[in-house]
Amino acid sequence: MRILVTGGAGFLGSHLCDRLIEQGHDVICLDNFFTGSKKNVEHLIGKHSFELVRHDITQPILLEVDRIYNLACPASPVHYQYNPVKTIKTSLLGAVNMLGLAKRVRARILQASTSEIYGDPTVHPQIEEYWGNVNPIGIRSCYDEGKRVAETLFMDYHRQNKVDIRIVRIFNTYGPRMHPNDGRVVSNFIVQALQNKDITVYGDGSQTRSFCFASDLVEAILRMMEQSEIGPINIGNSGEFTILELAEKVIKLTSSKSKIVKEPLPSDDPKQRKPDISKAKKFLNWEPKVNLEEGLVQTIEYFKKISYATAPK
């Protein structure tokens, strides 16, 4: 098939491009390189089945494709809050443009939604039927509300125009190819630990997250695209850890001399998060294979090999 991956030069998008090329598809990787990098896909450049296009999904584009994976959107709070108006335009106008394209060329389209649409959840673990607890005017809203309106657009294009959609709600995912300055917790802690710098725990570290390894995540979204349930379906690892536990694990696995320091908790930071993955198990016959410790070891090995000074952007 001819497959479009928006945000294909990002952390998850580049792993997805790898798998699709391995499966024998023709892949168009579209990215504006805001948080992604050519470095993530440089090993694919030159393959006849791979094309890299610099494009911003807030602008329309016409391509003949059979499948669209819509991943373009900065995902780390630091980066999505850098230009919040652009972030919400990426989710909103990007969804309109990609759904319009899917409608026109009759492609199936998958949206990379997020656990953030549940906000600071009052239902735990989060089930897909939960409508969430999102602050519409806070500093995370540009991302949370953008992703929520994108889900609305996907459902309405489906109901109104019969566009063939899939929606996955991705919970915190980590792994090789995260940028050293990504700003999310796993990469921050590993980069700090490897340099014996202070580990920055925001708040008292009692907030929880569930961490999914990139290879597990990509397997789930590939399965989601090629089965009939439209979703939304939660994808994540149901192991739940406090941020303090994560810091201690990273220090142990890197044999670091780093000390944990406490920094202010950003506003609207969700207190707890853990996916109910019953639907993913039922419809995708999927569950994560890589536990946190194994995934951290692989991610630490990746960060040991890259030079922070010469890392792209």
Active site positions, annotated: 143
Q: Does 202 bind ligand UDP (CB under 6 A)?
A: yes
With CB atoms as reference, the residue minimizing the distance to ligand NAD is 36
> Quick one: 67 or 184, whose CB is closer to ligand UDP?
184
Q: Which of 87, 207, 234, 299 lies at the binding interface for ligand UDP (CB under 6 A)?
A: 207
CB 171 within 8 Å of CB 234: yes
> Quick one: 86 or 262, whose CB is closer to ligand NAD?
86
Torsion angle of C-alpha atoms 268, 89, 117, 69, degrees rounded to 10: -140
Q: Which of 79, 177, 209, 274 lies at the binding interface for ligand UDP (CB under 6 A)?
A: 209
Return the one option of ligand NAD, ligand UDP, none that residue 201 interacts with (CB less than 5 to 8 A, by type). Answer: ligand UDP
Q: Does 184 bind ligand UDP (CB under 6 A)?
A: yes
First to last CA, the chain: 33
Q: Does 299 bind ligand UDP (CB under 6 A)?
A: no
Chain contacts with ligand NAD (rule: CB under 6 A): 6-7, 9-13, 31-36, 56-58, 71-75, 90, 94, 112, 114, 170, 172-173
Q: How far apart are CA 8 and CA 80, in angstroms?
A: 17
Q: How far apart are CA 185 and CA 165, in angstroms?
A: 31
Site size with ligand UDP, rule: CB under 6 A: 14
Q: Which two tokens stand for residue 40?
A: 């993530």
Q: Does 200 bind ligand UDP (CB under 6 A)?
A: yes
> Quick one: 50 or 143, whose CB is closer to ligand UDP?
143
Q: Which positions from 57 through 96 interact with ligand UDP, judged by CB under 6 A? A: 76-77
> Quick one: 143 or 157, whose CB is closer to ligand UDP?
143
Report the interface residues with ligand UDP, using CB under 6 A. 76-77, 172, 184-185, 188, 200-202, 207, 209, 243, 266, 269
